Amino acid sequence: MPLTSWAFIYLSPGFNEQNNSFKTKVGPCQFQIIGLNVNDKALTINIAKRLLSQKGVQTIELCGGFGPQWVAKISEAIDNKIPVGGVMYGPEFRKSLYELMNFNT
């Protein structure tokens, strides 16, 4: 089955799903990107469930700010029905990324 719908969820200070999300489509493939505030990671679980059930996404990718624990949490929350992956940064960039994004975990 070819890829026809996928989503990317990212974190950025002050962002929210209503104002910082968009969809685009080329041919049969639809892509949506959803922005969330860095302190609102927990919202991703319900967003992932909604994307899976209402939007029919086939895969979800998370920005590097989530880390592997959130990839696992979201995968588990949707019963591993679709692949959930994440952008990962090497250890040499973790401190600078943390400082840049001002994460409050």
Q: For position 102, what pLDDT does the model report?
A: 63
pLDDT digits (tens, 9 = 90+) for 18-66: 999 999 999 999 999 999 999 999 999 999 999 999 878 999 999 988 9
Tell me which residue of 68, 4, 2, 9 sits closest to 33, measured CA to CA. 9
pLDDT digits (tens, 9 = 90+) for 74-90: 999 999 999 999 998 77
Is residue 68 pLDDT above 80, yes or no?
yes
Assign 105 a pLDDT band (cuts: 50, 70, 90). very low
Q: Total structural domains in the chain?
A: 1
Kindly list the strands in the beta sheet with 21-26, ordered across the sheet, starting from the edge strand earlier in the chain.
21-26, 29-36, 5-11, 59-62, 84-86
Span between the terminal Cα atoms of the chain, in Å:
38
Q: Could you tell me the CATH number of the domain that includes residue 71?
A: 3.40.50
> pTM of the predicted model, to two decimals?
0.86
Q: Which is more confident, 91 or 55?
A: 91
Range of the domain at 82: 5-101
d(CA 103, CA 84): 22
d(CA 41, CA 44): 6
